[in-house]
């Protein structure tokens, strides 16, 4: 069954994408939760018209996302954390802390668009995170966890 996604669905696609999924997945998960519509001929025409109207707006948003990514490319974020005597952090560094550090540099990124590479961060050191500024603009950003 082909469906038109209303919202971004992880590991499947982004909003306004036409994707082919199994019938049960569409009927039991996507459609009841309002994440997708069945890709009928009328829905496809409506989608084409909507995409046509949004094309120039999306180009502007993508351009701004690339500017943000370029502004953060050469910077290393520093995240302060309380550290015990053995060098381990109390708790762990999460995406909220990274989003706050990026916000401190003057850029706004939603924490849901940040993925930390590797396992949970529980020690001081240098790490990397993948930040999605836009669906086509995904960059790897270096950050350093330092003792507070």
CB 132 within 8 A of CB 138: yes
CB 127 within 8 A of CB 145: yes
The CATH number linked to 29 is 3.40.5.10
- pLDDT category at 148 given cuts 50, 70, 90 is confident
119 token code pair: 């396992």
Q: Say how many domains are in the chain.
A: 2
Assess whether 76 and 43 both reside in one domain: no
Assess whether 25 and 81 both reside in one domain: no
Phi, psi of 97 (to 5 degrees): -65, -40
Assess whether 74 and 121 both reside in one domain: yes
Tell me the per-residue pLDDT of 63-97, one tens digit each, with 9 for 90 and over. 988 888 888 878 888 998 888 888 788 888 889 99
Assess whether 39 and 82 both reside in one domain: no
Tell me the per-residue pLDDT of 98-128, one tens digit each, with 9 for 90 and over. 999 988 888 888 989 999 988 888 888 899 9
């Amino acid at each position: 069954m082909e469906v038109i996604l209303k919202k971004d669905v992880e590991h499947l696609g982004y909003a306004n994408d036409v994707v082919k999924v199994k019938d049960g997945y569409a009927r039991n998960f996507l459609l009841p939760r309002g994440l997708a519509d069945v890709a009928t001929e009328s829905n496809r025409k409506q989608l084409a018209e909507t995409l046509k109207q949004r094309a120039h707006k999306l180009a502007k948003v993508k351009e701004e996302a690339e500017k943000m990514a370029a502004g953060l490319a050469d910077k290393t974020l520093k995240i302060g954390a309380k550290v015990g005597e053995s060098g381990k952090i109390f708790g762990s560094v999460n995406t909220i802390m990274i989003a706050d550090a990026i916000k401190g540099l003057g850029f706004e990124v939603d924490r849901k668009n940040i993925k930390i590479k590797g396992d949970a961060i529980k020690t001081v050191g240098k790490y990397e995170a993948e930040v999605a500024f836009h669906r086509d603009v995904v960059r790897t950003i270096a950050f350093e966890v330092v003792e507070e």
